[in-house]
A and B are shown apart, each in its own frame.
Chain A
Amino acid sequence: MLLGLRNCCIRRSNNHKAEAQQLLSLKSEVSMDPAEHGGDGNKAGAATTAAPQLVLKQLDKRFGATHALKAVDLSFERGEIHAVVGENGAGKSTLIKLLTGVYPRTSGEVFWEGKPVALATPHEAIDLGINAVHQEVVLCPHLTVAANLFLGDEKIRFGLLQHGAMVRAGQKILDDIGFRLPAGALLSSLTIGQQQLVATARASTRGTRFLIFDEPTAYLTRQEATQLFALIRRLKANHVTIVYISHRMEEVFQLADRVSVLRDGQLVATQKVSETNEKALITLMINRAIEQVHYKESIPFGKEILRTENLSGKGFQDVSIRVREGEVIGLYGLIGAGRSEFVQSLFGRFPKTGGQIFWNGKPVEIRKEKDAISLGIALVPESRRDQGLCLNLGVGLNLNLPIYHRLTTASVINPVAESAAADRQIRNVQIKTASRDALASSLSGGNQQKIVVGKWLNHGAKLFIFDEPTTGVDVGTKAEIYKLFAQLLKDKAGIILISSYLPEVYDLSDSLHVFRRGRLVATHDSAHVSEKALHETILTEAMGA
């Protein structure tokens, strides 16, 4: 066993060197001339003929009674970017886990370069050259970037770690693939997006021939995404097969050669990207036309809920906004532009240093979260897992947490009132759950978000701050979240929406506020501008070009 591990390490380290050289030979040109890469591809194509890199035949996976993947036939060509799309629960994650050897398949065959393989363990997959970049960063935050890059494959001399050599080699790898990251920095000192890039660098420089990306851009800024796309194209030119899983359709069309659609564990279609379009794909994914979101038109704005006048604080200055009943204001900007800091300050996380907040027209002081909560401000955080929910407890308990004092007589809970309150809120925000006792962790992302909202509604919240509400959720869930917005607005709530996804801010907001370097640089009324015109303007404003 130990010997096997050691062998594997040596093999991997050899692969690694070869790969690093390959990458070096590509130099660090940022220009992505398709002709140039096409040339590269042809040369390799001549050397190794067109046997697909990986072929799946009648791949099947059952978990007890659940049939997660149903007889999937799929082939991945060498050096292609193959997008896989589908709603949550369509079988994408199961597919990744079968390909990376995390789960064994129930039946069916897998061929790697024409030869049948078992893919029974993660080790086997890595040895073949199959790697994945997961949505959540699986690295060691307390080690340096370089140490993470070389983890399991350290540079050693006389049994001692060569820290300096690893930092230098790591920096070279990062520079060569065009990621502007410090190899000597602690991983935990980087943003989530940067950590994701480190994970990508690690996965792509280990003799990888087949690389799976699971929602890689969910946490990336635009520049980081650009760096990532450049790397993906470079890997493709290097004949690495890329499987790209994303909910963001425009990325699929921007990057991929072919796209496969999964629905309910079945492969519905595999098409060339050039021969299909967004609408057709979405229809395939959900097999029903997506309803248009209609709420902006019908809801007249009511009274003013919140107004800030020249509010300043840590990371932002002089921000003046206003939210009325039934209004959504969108905050757009790059990460670090100050919009998160601004809402954190509204929610009492950081005290303001200047300016004034008005609630229902009256000046108020928000010094602590408690002040914000008792006014009726609700924060639906980006990481629902960290701040929003008690995941290993029941849906009902989560919903009732703010109102238990109303469900008790002398602090003893009235079980009938407790159940009734939970059921009422489950119906009200339409949470799809087996029961009020089901664990919050057993629900889908969209439904977990509804629990957070339901909880705040119980609290009597009037203003909802949504921080990146649709990160990593599928099209169907997104539509449900939009419906939830509509319902909140109808009940005269106001919404502040933060999103790095411009089409979303545009679609959902009545007015759009652009942040740059801690300042509100522009405000647009979305109803009066066309999306395309606005898109360019806003990007220019946000990036300060």
Chain B
Amino acid sequence: MSVQASEERQLAVTRRRAQLGTLLGLTLLGLLAILWIALAFSTNSFWTYNNISNLLRQGAMTAILAIGETFVIITAGIDLSVGAVVGFTSVIIAWLLTHDFPIWAAILITLGIGLIIGAFHGFGITKLGLPPFIMTLATLTALRGIGLLITNGATISITNTDFTGFSRGDLLGVPNLFWMVLVVAVPSYIFLHHSRYGRYLFAIGSNTEAARLSGVNTVRMIYIAYILSALCAAFVGILLAARIGIGNATQAEGWELQAIASSVIGGTSLFGAVGSVHGPLLGSFILTTINNGANLLNVNSFWQRVITGGLIIVIVYFDGLRRRKR
């Protein structure tokens, strides 16, 4: 009897924990649905093919950044440089394309540079012992500077129409850029939730020392987290360059905050060890929808920043409340 009781209790706990993740996911999905329905009724232009594809294109870039950022935040770190990496890599790919590199080579080189930036973050954090906040704040400002030095402050226009055309194209009616989210999200999901490295990231975020003593190569895992974040940012840099047809180091200003906000709205804990891939995805599309809707409703764009800030406080507060009640 007592065995039965304890098994029931066990099931109840497992179920409750499973529910917790699902509940947040459903809440966010519900919020997104409400926003879309409300906007569909209150504006004529929201529920049009053009606007929806535009929203998916814009949201795609925040989403990819947010997924990368999530790997870092799960280790209880932070990557402030992602916006700067986007701007910087947009310059790199634009420069490469204007110097007649083939598209595939330009993309690979740009991603390679993202990898090097991420590895540099890992080096600063693990070998030089700098706090992640400082390390990535430093590269944030430095990368913008290097990007401006390369172009001497000018903008590089991309004339390669094969490259820029990609961002306007679609597959099965869905914008190519949105497909790119899936290209990033599916492997990320497998990596985070179904590979041992994902488990290690969570363990490091929870207690680095315990993870290290359990034989986890914590230094390597921190390198991996920051490399993944910078790779995602470099990828977004490529997509952005394709979308707007230029390379400019001042682009994507403040996107790191959008990425962090999306991740946090999606249930990632800034204290580490809590997070998912679907959370930041939903979080980024919620933020994008709010901005898009505000534009359509002719809300002063300055208010959008205020709304985003308010939303972060409300969602994280309710999430914290729910966790504590448990």
Q: A401: which of B10, B12, B14, B199 is its contact (CB, 8 Å)?
A: B199
Q: A459: which of B9, B199, B214 is its contact (CB, 8 Å)?
A: B214
B10 in contact with A435 (CB, 8 Å) = yes
A389 in contact with B213 (CB, 8 Å) = no
Which residues on the A side are within 8 Å of B206 (C-beta)? 390-393
Q: A392: which of B6, B9, B11, B273 is its contact (CB, 8 Å)?
A: B273
B195 in contact with A390 (CB, 8 Å) = no
- Report the Cα distance A397→B214, complex, angstroms: 11
Q: How far is the CB of B271 from chain A (nearest CB, A)?
A: 8
Which residues on the A side are within 8 Å of B14 (C-beta)? 435, 437
Q: How far is the CB of B20 from chain A (nearest CB, A)?
A: 11
Q: How far is the CB of A51 from chain B (nearest CB, A)?
A: 40
Q: A404: which of B6, B199, B213 is its contact (CB, 8 Å)?
A: B199
A455 in contact with B196 (CB, 8 Å) = no
* Bitwise interface map of B from 215 to 231 toward A, beta carbon under 8 Å scored 1, else 0: 11000000000000000
Say yes or no: A437-B214 contact (C-beta < 8 A), given A390-B203, A392-B206. no
- Report the Cα distance A404→B206, complex, angstroms: 17
A402 in contact with B209 (CB, 8 Å) = no
* A255: Cβ under 8 A from any B Cβ: no
- Report the Cα distance A393→B215, complex, angstroms: 17
Which residues on the B side are within 8 Å of A415 (C-beta)? 194
- Report the Cα distance A395→B6, complex, angstroms: 16
A438 in contact with B194 (CB, 8 Å) = no
B residues 268-326 in Cβ contact with A at 8 Å: 273-274
* B197: Cβ under 8 A from any A Cβ: yes
Q: How far is the CB of A426 from chain B (nearest CB, A)?
A: 11
* A407: Cβ under 8 A from any B Cβ: yes
Which residues on the A side are within 8 Å of B194 (C-beta)? 412-413, 415
- Report the Cα distance A389→B190, complex, angstroms: 25
* A379: Cβ under 8 A from any B Cβ: yes
Nearest residue, chain A, Cβ from B325: A64
- Report the Cα distance A379→B215, complex, angstroms: 13
Q: A390: which of B11, B12, B13, B211 is its contact (CB, 8 Å)?
A: B211
Which residues on the B side are within 8 Å of A437 (C-beta)? 13-14, 17
* Bitwise interface map of A from 386 to 415 toward B, beta carbon under 8 Å scored 1, else 0: 111111110001101110110110011101
Say yes or no: A390-B202 contact (C-beta < 8 A), given A404-B196, A412-B190. yes
Which residues on the B side are within 8 Å of A512 (C-beta)? none
* B200: Cβ under 8 A from any A Cβ: yes
- Report the Cα distance A383→B195, complex, angstroms: 29
Q: How far is the CB of A82 from chain B (nearest CB, A)?
A: 33
Which residues on the B side are within 8 Å of A392 (C-beta)? 206, 273-274
* A434: Cβ under 8 A from any B Cβ: yes
A411 in contact with B196 (CB, 8 Å) = yes
Q: B203: which of A401, A408, A435 is its contact (CB, 8 Å)?
A: A401
B residues 1-47 in Cβ contact with A at 8 Å: 6, 9-14, 17
Which residues on the B side are within 8 Å of A397 (C-beta)? 199, 202-203
- Report the Cα distance A255→B207, complex, angstroms: 39
Which residues on the A side are within 8 Å of B10 (C-beta)? 434-435
* B210: Cβ under 8 A from any A Cβ: yes
B210 in contact with A390 (CB, 8 Å) = yes
Which residues on the B side are within 8 Å of A373 (C-beta)? 213, 215
Q: How far is the CB of A348 from chain B (nearest CB, A)?
A: 11
Q: How far is the CB of B170 from chain A (nearest CB, A)?
A: 32
Q: How far is the CB of A11 from chain B (nearest CB, A)?
A: 33
* A154: Cβ under 8 A from any B Cβ: no
Interface size of B by CB at 8 A reads 29
B273 in contact with A390 (CB, 8 Å) = yes
A408 in contact with B214 (CB, 8 Å) = no
Which residues on the B side are within 8 Å of A369 (C-beta)? 212-213
* Bitwise interface map of A from 283 to 319 toward B, beta carbon under 8 Å scored 1, else 0: 0000000000000000000000000000000000000
Say yes or no: A434-B9 contact (C-beta < 8 A), given A393-B203, A404-B199, A412-B194. yes
Q: How far is the CB of B21 from chain A (nearest CB, A)?
A: 11
Say yes or no: A386-B273 contact (C-beta < 8 A), given A411-B197, A455-B214. no
Q: A388: which of B11, B210, B274 is its contact (CB, 8 Å)?
A: B210
Say yes or no: A408-B195 contact (C-beta < 8 A), given A388-B210, A393-B206. yes
Q: B195: which of A386, A389, A411 is its contact (CB, 8 Å)?
A: A411
Which residues on the B side are within 8 Å of A379 (C-beta)? 213
- Report the Cα distance A415→B196, complex, angstroms: 11
Q: How far is the CB of A64 from chain B (nearest CB, A)?
A: 10
Which residues on the A side are within 8 Å of B6 (C-beta)? 434
- Report the Cα distance A387→B6, complex, angstroms: 30
Which residues on the A side are within 8 Å of B274 (C-beta)? 392
Which residues on the B side are within 8 Å of A389 (C-beta)? 207, 210
- Report the Cα distance A392→B74, complex, angstroms: 12
A413 in contact with B196 (CB, 8 Å) = yes
A residues 338-380 in Cβ contact with B at 8 Å: 369-370, 373, 379
Which residues on the B side are within 8 Å of A402 (C-beta)? 214-215
- Report the Cα distance A411→B201, complex, angstroms: 14
B273 in contact with A393 (CB, 8 Å) = yes
Most chain B Cβ neighbours within 10 Å, of A369, A373, A379, A393:
A393
- Report the Cα distance A88→B88, complex, angstroms: 57
Most chain B Cβ neighbours within 10 Å, of A369, A401, A412, A415:
A401
Nearest residue, chain A, Cβ from B196: A404
Which residues on the B side are within 8 Å of A405 (C-beta)? 196
- Report the Cα distance A43→B272, complex, angstroms: 59
Q: How far is the CB of B3 from chain A (nearest CB, A)?
A: 13
Say yes or no: A387-B273 contact (C-beta < 8 A), given A413-B199, A435-B14. no
Say yes or no: A391-B195 contact (C-beta < 8 A), given A379-B213, A435-B14. no
Which residues on the B side are within 8 Å of A412 (C-beta)? 190, 194-195
Which residues on the B side are within 8 Å of A393 (C-beta)? 202-203, 206, 273
Which residues on the B side are within 8 Å of A438 (C-beta)? 13
Nearest residue, chain B, Cβ from A458: B214
* Bitwise interface map of B from 148 to 186 toward A, beta carbon under 8 Å scored 1, else 0: 000000000000000000000000000000000000000
Q: How far is the CB of A460 from chain B (nearest CB, A)?
A: 11
Q: How far is the CB of A407 from chain B (nearest CB, A)?
A: 7
Which residues on the A side are within 8 Å of B195 (C-beta)? 408, 411-413
Which residues on the A side are within 8 Å of B13 (C-beta)? 434-435, 437-438
Which residues on the B side are within 8 Å of A387 (C-beta)? 207, 209-210, 213
B residues 240-294 in Cβ contact with A at 8 Å: 273-274
- Report the Cα distance A293→B200, complex, angstroms: 38
A401 in contact with B209 (CB, 8 Å) = no
- Report the Cα distance A374→B223, complex, angstroms: 23
- Report the Cα distance A412→B199, complex, angstroms: 11
B residues 89-124 in Cβ contact with A at 8 Å: none
A401 in contact with B17 (CB, 8 Å) = no
Query: Can you give 22 A-B contacts (C-beta < 8 A)?
Result: A369-B212, A379-B213, A387-B207, A390-B211, A392-B274, A393-B203, A393-B273, A398-B210, A401-B210, A401-B214, A402-B214, A404-B199, A407-B196, A412-B190, A415-B194, A434-B6, A434-B10, A434-B12, A435-B11, A435-B13, A437-B17, A438-B13
List residues of A whose CB falls within 8 A of some B CB. 369-370, 373, 379, 386-393, 397-398, 400-402, 404-405, 407-408, 411-413, 415, 434-435, 437-438, 455, 459
Add 17 more A-B contacts to A387-B209, A391-B207, A401-B200 (CB < 8 A): A387-B210, A387-B213, A388-B213, A390-B206, A390-B207, A392-B274, A397-B203, A408-B195, A411-B196, A411-B197, A412-B194, A413-B195, A415-B194, A434-B6, A434-B9, A435-B10, A435-B11
Q: Which 10 A-B residue pairings sit nearest by Cβ, starting from the closest?
A: A390-B206, A404-B196, A401-B214, A435-B10, A434-B13, A390-B207, A402-B214, A411-B195, A402-B215, A393-B206
